Structure 1
Amino acid sequence: MNNKLLTSYLFLIITSFFLGCSATGENKNNTSSSSISLHVGDEKYFTIDTKESVVAWTGSGVHGKHDGYAYISKGELMIENGQLMGGTVEIDMTKTEGPGHATNNNLINHLKGPDFFDVEKFPFSTIVITKSAAINGENKTVTGKLMIKGITEPVTFPARIEIRDGIVKASARLIIDRTKWGIRYNSGKFYDNLADRAISDSIGFQINIVAKK
């Protein structure tokens, strides 16, 4: 093989190598990056104030319950004629905290791992609000879609929504069956003879949101 052909051959190998590395990196970043964009400047949308909003969670087992926090990374609520019409809430699962806002203990590390939320692969969960219906006054029934670990399931939950002076305050209580989102660790539905290692399939979320123009 002459020098010219050898040089061309090596160039093709090196180019293919770097293009392959670039594509792999892009796919990885897409998996771990935020998946929603906001309607900035649209009068119908109120942007969630992430410093004033929080999601509290509660889980339980035979020996008692555990609770903690997860934080909203971004989101918005769509309000038309004084009514909640839609919205998106994105939760950063990598910032899950336990009692006392602990961020690095056996419980929190386990929740972040593959047995539960697998935050390395799925760092964000999202709630997409599709509609709300009035119950009485500021009390609503909200319908939407909840994505956890890349799995999306429909949800319906009660919420209280107050709109005053360009500020939306919303509080909601959402209880889910974790196994619908592929979280089966020590679930009595899938494992026998768990005894005192059994963990409830129900996880409760108290969602408090403040959204502003």
Structure 2
Amino acid sequence: MPGINLSFQRLISRIGTLLLLPLLAVAPQAVPASGTYAVDANESQVYWTGRSEIGKYSLSGVVPVASGSITVEGGLLKTGLVEINMTAISCNTLDNGASNQKLITHLSSPDFFDVKKYPKATFVMTRAIPKGGNAYELAGNLTIKDKTNPIQFPATLQEQQGKLLLKTLLVVDRAKFDVRYGSNSFFDNLGNDAIKNEFELDIELLTQKKK
């Protein structure tokens, strides 16, 4: 399927990025100026990928950033907040527009993210642990469907002509946020219809210093 090929190509690209992270972390980096940086919602994206329990079938798409900010002190990332617009979730890997829309409608329903009731997901960064160079380990609280859970994941912060780019690839367990559809954690005998609890979020946040 074309969608599977696209997802596979994106996965290879992500793996290549992750392999380069140690090299980027030790390379000389410009020291970001202290202050608060606002997330540019138009230039930032969250790419999602969900997978089946059996086989290698996967679907992916985009969910846009609504707003956010990060703070830098003494050249180091300190805190951050990002809000995700769940009402605009999209899929780009199915064969045609009708199939994509059907999936988007389902993802937006109470079976999955119930976006009418819970229009935003949020991540509040509580700690940024420097790992050398531009590498960090971020810790904070992720809220989806009004369920909040702690989460920790690696990230990089790069200075780009006065702007800061925060990038990460993290894995989220949807069962912790009561997203039940197709989950072996909540239903028995799903067979080939089972969907993995873990889904990936490939995040790129471009930020600009507030004046």
TM range (shorter): 0.7 to 0.9
Shift of 1:69: 0.2
TM-score if structure 2 supplies the norm length?
Answer: 0.77
Note if 1:121 corresponds to 2:83. Answer: no
Do 1:86 and 1:129's aligned partners in 2 also have CA atoms closer than 8 Å?
yes
Q: Structure 2: which 5+ residue stretches go unaligned?
A: 1-33
Q: Residue in 2 aligned with 1:163?
A: 159
Greater C-alpha Rg: 1
In structure 2, how many angstroms separate the alpha carbons of the residues matched to 1:137 and 1:90? 27
| Aligned partner of 2:65 among 61, 72, 75 | 72
Note if 1:147 corresponds to 2:140. Answer: no
Q: Residue in 1 aligned with 2:204?
A: 208
| Aligned partner of 2:35 among 20, 39, 44 | 44
Deviation string, structure 1 residues 79-115 (Cα, Å, up to 9, x no partner): 1111110011000000101016969611111101001
Note if 1:94 corresponds to 2:90. Answer: no
Q: Residue in 2 aligned with 1:17?
A: none
Point out 4+ residue stretches in structure 1 off by more than 2 angstroms: 100-104, 163-166
Do 1:68 and 1:99's aligned partners in 2 also have CA atoms closer than 8 Å?
yes
Shift of 1:135: 1.7
Note if 1:85 corresponds to 2:78. Answer: yes
In structure 2, how many angstroms separate the alpha carbons of the residues matched to 1:112 and 1:150? 15
Shift of 1:44: 2.0
Change (3 A) 1:100 1:193: closer
Number of residues of Structure 1 aligned to a counterpart in Structure 2: 171
In structure 2, how many angstroms separate the alpha carbons of the residues matched to 1:210 and 1:95? 19
Deviation string, structure 1 residues 129-165 (Cα, Å, up to 9, x no partner): 1111122211110001100001111010110111354
Do 1:58 and 1:66's aligned partners in 2 also have CA atoms closer than 8 Å?
yes
TM-score if structure 1 supplies the norm length?
Answer: 0.76
In structure 2, how many angstroms separate the alpha carbons of the residues matched to 1:202 and 1:67? 13
RMSD across aligned C-alpha pairs, in angstroms? 1.7
Q: Residue in 2 aligned with 1:172?
A: 168
Q: Residue in 2 aligned with 1:11?
A: none
Code of the residue aligned with 2:60 in structure 1: it is D
**Residue range with higher mean Cα deviation, 45-54 or 104-113:** 104-113
Q: Structure 1: which 5+ residue stretches go unaligned?
A: 1-42
